[in-house]
Amino acid sequence: MTLKNPYFHQSFINNRASFSLREHKKYNWHSNDNGCFMNQWKLPFLNTHQRKKKACIVGCDTKCIKTMMVSSHGNTKTHKVKVIVAVKKCSGGGILSNFLSECVDGIKQLIGNILVLELVSVDLDQKTNLEKKTIKGHAQGVEKKERGVQYECTFELPSDFGNVGAVLVQHEHHKEMFLRSIVLHDVPYGPVHFTCNSWVQPKHDCPVKRVFFSDKSYLPSQTPCGLRRLREVELMLLRGNGEGERKSYERIYDYDVYNDLGDPDFSIDLKRPILGCSEHPYPRRCRTGREHSIADPLSERKCLNIFVPRDEAFAEIKQLQFTTTTISLGLSAILASLDTIFIDQNLGFASFQDIDMLYKEGYHLPHPEPKWLTLLQKVIPSFIKVATDNKKTLHFDTPEAVKRDRFFWFSDEEFARETLSGVNPYSIQLVKEWPLRSKLDPEIYGPPESAITREIIESQIIGYRTVEEAIVEKKLFMLDYHDLFLPYVSKVREIKGTTLYGSRTLFFLTKQGTLKPLAIELTRPIMDGKPQWKQVFTPASHSTDLWLWRLAKAHVLAHDSGYHELVNHWLRTHCALEPFIIATNRQLSTMHPVYKLLHPHMRYTMEINSLAREVLICANGIIEISFSTNKYSMEISSVAYDQLWRFDLQALPNDLIHRGMALEDPNAPQGLMLTIEDYPFANDGLLIWDAIKQWVTEYINHYYSNSSVVKSDQELQAWWTEIQKVGHGDKYKEPWWPSLETPKDLIDIITTIAWIASGHHAAVNFAQYTYGGYFPNRPTIARIKMPTEDPSKEEWENFLKNPEQTLLECLPSQIQATLVMVILNLLSNHSPDEEYIGQYMEPSWAENQTIKTSFERFNKRLKEIEGIIDSRNGNYNLKNRCGAGLVPYELMKPFSGPGITGKGVPYSASI
């Protein structure tokens, strides 16, 4: 049901946009010496007679609390309690160019300013059965060099006040401040910790108070009576009212469709379809409430600095590495500058030697464009080194794979190996049926039968006489980008400078445990009055067939790169996670143990997603400019969500089984037998999955002893319902959604979410520059069709005379390659403040000895996994991860330092 015009205790109102000064006046307030209190809480479903009663909030026993009133402490004895508040050194998120001076000024400005605190008891007044009067105090700041500013305050706490369960905060500084923590000392029940890590707005901007609960976890039914109403009010404020444009300082979590990817007001050609409807199903994003476009009233207007709830934004140390300025301003300016540098945006590289020079001698910028160099130096210094010879030269770091073997990308073995241990290990699948057939309408797209015949395959599968025999023995594998891409081939080909096919690539599992490429099939559907065209290419020794094979590989790699970024990376991690993050903040109190368990897995994801919408996946953004699918990229992502995405299949074991890469085996490690024994991603990923599941199991079982506790948890049930009905509402009626009735159900759900945010994301993200930084290895676009597809005499002769030039013309242009190298380097970097899974204990977990012990086991297991992975990478029998010139598979090693390391599993999809 919807609550309208409720009356709130002012002390409990959070800094939310839904409570602006205008709306604030709608509520009836009266004051005493301890703040503003509401007359009563009015609920729309109460009749007139009921409203005259002392109303209680939904879910709170009337015996527990009647209404918010002040009870006197009388002449009760008091004792002194010291409160220390830690405030981050730099407040307000200053401009990076003035970072240091902002910090100094920030400290000077904070010192001497008053921080108003109110202590809230967990108990009710025993005589009146009402909430106890809060204890108010004023804290003063004292400068501390290392930890920023520390505020201190001494309270006279009545002996019958009970335990302090929450602190209300208001400050009179002229800028927002970031509260790290609050600690109560000298209380009989030990120091009480309140982990805040949140921005608090100044009183003159938001004359309402923030609430912070102690680190102790409570299920809704176990919430102390003195905190129950406060818990519910806080959640209502986080949900907002669904109206108005969000302000940058607000912390409202709400849903909207993807209607902000286009820019039709700038050009109607930049209009893009709305994602998140029956025609284009999609997960929901965070609502911003921006004005709608004039040219397309269904779309929101394009803007910089897209709203995310204030506490989801990057911290300063993260901004230094990857800021809103870097993405929303820097790359846009780079695009504009590149337009001036390269008169022809389709200008490719003249030779592979020129490509190598990007890493050896750098790229020499034209003399008339020095401003671009300055921009790059300021905006993205982490991945471009400027020479000291004043020749305006840009140098790109040599990717690790090239350092180890400069010819690695030419190898068929490496092409196959990267399907198991590269940046996209989620696409390879077992061939289960023969012959291969398309499921698309043959009237529209042509004959469904694959052109890959048994003769082509059987001549290459040594030791097996028939295709059927190889299938039974699970020896044939495939990359299948046929049915997803084929419907877009004719649309993409209307765009200059790109092309597309539907494709299938078959591999054979050799006795050595490695994959051998067998065949590539490229298909063009019926279009422009021409019949369907399809051709199969195989590894060959003859020069013409060999070069055709290399060109076919370039097309497949472009398909794989597109599917990797649009589906396995963006859709399945970043995009699919956002509704879970929104629902968690809207439905689970910060006191809820499940909120505390999930919280590390939500860090920075909404911020990085908003940046992606600004410059990566938007109209005329990096993806559209640099990938084969161009302006249809996000539409294809929507098709993949509609046809392929299932929550239950995001669990790693289920995903492997679904792709035929594993079979259930209770006697095998992790309960699975891998179809390919040496499958580095699966081998290591299952170790991480099992560690996460064990940790989640111990955590959940501590709080949920039986199914009745799960079923009766109103916050938890509302959370799971909202995720299905709203966050992933276009798939709400799907039968595969797990039920949430037992502790096991909850364990499976939480483990899956945690895996998506950590292990899955790490596997598809942090090797992007390693393998894609040398773009011939993973081109994002194929710009020309195959020479054998309806060639003119001139086209065919040019191919025969100079096949290398044909391949260069197929690979990305200079603009496309440079942009992709920049982005992949940026995305592959670990931030200095990265939080790795299981590395450090959350303060709330340390509050409970059982949870603390479980986490310590989790941490110990992750350290053991690091050793196991190192051992595997030294085993020369595992040829998919160990060998001369090979990059060892370290993506599932839990911990890492900053930079491009090719290892480390952060808690969240934070980059």
What architecture is domain 434-539?
Answer: Roll (3.10)
- What is residue 112's predicted lDDT score, i.e. its pLDDT? 58
Token pair recorded at residue 245: 């444009």
- Cβ partners under 8 Å of residue 712, min gap 6: 221
DSSP class of 525: -
Domain with CATH 1.20.245.10 in the chain: 253-348+355-426+565-784+812-911
Check if CATH label 2.60.120.260 holds for domain 50-239: no
CB environment 693-726: b (16+ within 10 A), e (fewer): bbbbbbbbbebbeeeebbeebebbebbbebbbeb
Residue 50 and residue 42 in contact, taking contact as beta carbons nearer than 8 Å: no
* Phi, psi of 138, deg, nearest 5: -120, 120
Q: Which residues make up the CATH 3.10.450.60 domain(s) of the chain?
A: 434-539
Q: What angle do CA 794, 795, 798 make, to 5 degrees?
A: 85
CATH architecture type of domain 253-348+355-426+565-784+812-911: Up-down Bundle (1.20)
CA distance 714 to 540: 64
**Active site (catalytic) residues:** 569, 574, 761, 765, 911
Could you tell me the mean pLDDT of each successive run of 10 residues in the chain, 911 residues long?
A: 36 36 34 33 33 36 35 66 87 40 47 82 93 93 76 92 96 88 92 96 85 97 96 95 93 97 95 98 97 96 90 74 41 49 74 92 54 37 37 74 96 98 98 97 97 96 94 98 98 97 98 97 97 97 96 98 98 98 98 98 96 92 96 98 98 98 92 97 98 98 98 98 98 98 98 98 98 98 98 96 98 91 90 94 95 98 98 98 97 96 97 90
CA pair distance 548, 786, nearest whole angstrom: 8
**Spatial separation of the C-alpha atoms in residues 641 and 654, rounded to whole Å:** 17
Per-residue pLDDT, 320: 56
Write out the residue limits of the CATH 2.60.60.20 domain(s) in the chain.
50-239
Per-residue pLDDT, 303: 85
pLDDT value at residue 817 = 92
Give the span between the Cα atoms of 383 and 370, in whole angstroms. Answer: 18
- Within 13 Å of residue 807, how many CA atoms lie on the same side as its CB? 23
List strand residue ranges (DSSP E) for 339-422, in order.
363-364, 384-386, 393-396
Q: Report the distance separating Cα 404 and Cα 402, nearest Å.
A: 5
- HEC profile for 187-221? CCCCCEEEEEEEEECECCCCCCCEEEECCCCCCHH
